[in-house]
Amino acid sequence: MARKIEDIKKEMTRSFIENDEIKRIYGLNEGKSFEDEFSSVSLESILFYIVAFAMWTLEKLFDTHVSEVDDKIALLKPHSLKWYRNKAQVFQLGFALKQESDVFDNGNASFEQIESSKIIKYAAVTEATADSRLIVKIATEVSGKLHPITSAQKEAFEAYISEVKDAGVAINVINYLADQLRLTMEIFYDPLVIDADGNGILNGGRPVEEAIQQYMKELPFNGELVLAHLVDKLQQVKGVVIPHIISADSRWIEGGAYNNFSPVDVRKLPESGYFEITDFDHIKYTANA
């Protein structure tokens, strides 16, 4: 880990003033520090800072190099979940793989063509608990929101995964619409800051709903919804005195259609990899007495 510039400079200057020949040439006083003997704008101080900065830059480059090497080793490790996740995200629609390779043949394609072909914007890979297979959850982005890829795109992606996966590994690709989340809440609010309909009095908007949406955006792909963390988020909203979650329910695609809502007691991993709020019709606002 790179040292601080100040620490590097201090080591050099301490050695400098402890040298007997330097003491004689400069007429330094015994027991005084470099800072006592030299001004911060002196030529000596500036030169030591320049050298210290150069050494710090080199140490930072070494840190970056070690980090990059560690990441590449982790990605190259066969059979790892991280390896499969990386392979999902580098999928290129419309490009063929090089012969006997898991690398795409980009030929003379432009940078823009290559980047636009990478349609998998989000991916997560987990192991099934009931049987021996990998679950690959994927999503793209449409108008800034997570969205499944098309059926034709999924067919191409599954052919690619089948080509690059390790022999004998069963893979199930999950490409669903978002898990729907329904929140029933009672918000005890400060009537000086929020009105009875949930509107912000000073700046407008709907601060409770905006905070909920922000929490959902902050969840990583395939991240766990934790109701206590959502409450923590709402407690930071100005005007919210007590955010009370009465119930939380979610439903997901099963057999080609959404199933019935099921309760979320404490936490929940999205079956599709991501959630969306169905509506905010089940939030009741109560002025705090």
Residue spans of the domains in the chain: they are 5-75, 81-174, 179-287
The reported pLDDT for the residue numbered 77 is: 60
**How many Cβ atoms are within 10 Å of 85's Cβ, its own excluded?**
22
Characterize the bridge pairing of strands 240-251 and 283-287. unpaired
Which residues 6+ apart lie within 8 Å of 101 measured at CB? none
User: Which pTM does this prediction carry?
Assistant: 0.67
pLDDT tens for each residue of 43-79: 999 999 999 999 999 999 999 999 888 877 766 666 7
pLDDT tens for each residue of 9-21: 999 999 998 998 9
What separation in angstroms does the CA of 79 have from each of 75, 119, 207? Answer: 10, 23, 45
**How many Cβ atoms are within 10 Å of 170's Cβ, its own excluded?**
11
Q: How far is CA 244 from the centre of its chain?
A: 28
Is 127 strand, coil or helix? strand
Cβ proximity of 176 and 148 under 8 Å: yes
List of E strands, 115-255: 122-127, 134-142, 145-147, 171-174, 179-189, 225-226, 240-251, 253-254
Mean pLDDT in residue range 199-207: 94
Residue 213 in this model has a pLDDT that exceeds 90: yes
The reported pLDDT for the residue numbered 75 is: 66
Rounded to whole angstroms, the Cα distance separating 237 from 218 reads: 16
**How many Cβ atoms are within 10 Å of 264's Cβ, its own excluded?**
20
**How many Cβ atoms are within 10 Å of 26's Cβ, its own excluded?**
14
pLDDT tens for each residue of 94-110: 999 998 888 899 999 99
